[in-house]
Structure 1
Amino acid sequence: MIWIGSGLGWGWVGGGFAIGLVSTLSLLGIACPLTALEDWLRNGSVRVQSFIERWVNRPLYYDLPAWMFTLSYVVFALMVLLTWRRIPPRQRR
């Protein structure tokens, strides 16, 4: 979404809103709305697996608990924040 949103000029994709939202929803045990929408459009129902869990699970055949994916979302969000602090995005002129 960040790449698509950037190409379309959406301002919200430049902030940490997207991964922050996904991390927060995951901590609360709520499926990402985009994942729920994708499930509903594909299958007519919403699954309990997250988007990342489903796509990582398929090629690797690991049966991991949902908390591991929640942890990965939070760690990724923290890595993004650390990266922005140490290497801030350049302002466009």
Structure 2
Amino acid sequence: MRLLADTVLVIHFFFVLFVVVGLCLIWIGAFRNWQWIRNFWFRILHLLAILFVAIETLFGKVCPLTTWEDLLRGTRTTQPGFIQRWVSRLLFYDFPETVFTVIYLIFAMAVILSMIVIKPTLPQKYSSKPPEPFSDT
């Protein structure tokens, strides 16, 4: 069960990495004119990922990945393994829940703003050419 719990923890880490690093790369890529950051499906998945986190937090729900990891581990009082110890240190902090709610909502607004300012390119069958950086067309 420990290996499965560690796998869920690593998936959780990569989910967080996708959301956080994804937004940074979108803004860097806009200035550097990287076309891949305008990929419609990447941008939609990125938006849905942070909206899921923000909405579940607003409703006071615990992340399903955290719940699954806890269930697989049984109890957190056991001695953590290498992966659990290091990835948990990167993911989990001891702050009031309202701090995380505010952070997730601000981050979600930043992702929504990036969708407006740095428009994704529609799939080819819907669009004839990609938009210019920071343009409305």
Unaligned runs of at least 5 residues, structure 1: 4-10, 47-51, 58-62
Higher Rg: 2
Give the AA of the match of 2:118: I
Aligned counterparts of 1:12 and 1:24: Cα–Cα separation in 2: 20
How much is the aligned-residue C-alpha RMSD, in angstroms? Answer: 3.2
Question: Alignment identity in percent?
Answer: 32
Match for residue 6 of structure 1? none
Match for residue 60 of structure 1? none
Match for residue 87 of structure 1? 118
Distance 1:81 1:13, change over 3 A: closer
Compare relative contact order (CA 8 Å, sep 6+) and give the higher one, 1 or 2. 2
Kindly tell me the number of residue pairs found equivalent between the two proteins: 75
Which residue, 91, 103, 106 being the options, matches 1:55? 91
Give the AA of the match of 1:20: L
Give the TM-score normalised by structure 1: 0.61
Aligned counterparts of 1:36 and 1:81: Cα–Cα separation in 2: 27
Runs of 4 or more, structure 1, over 6 Å off, are none
Give the 3-state SS of the residue equivalent to 1:90 in structure 2: coil
Give the AA of the match of 1:55: L
Which residue, 61, 65, 70 being the options, matches 1:30? 61
Aligned counterparts of 1:31 and 1:76: Cα–Cα separation in 2: 18
Give the AA of the match of 1:32: C
Deviation at 1:54, TM superposition (A): 7.2
Deviation at 1:56, TM superposition (A): 4.7
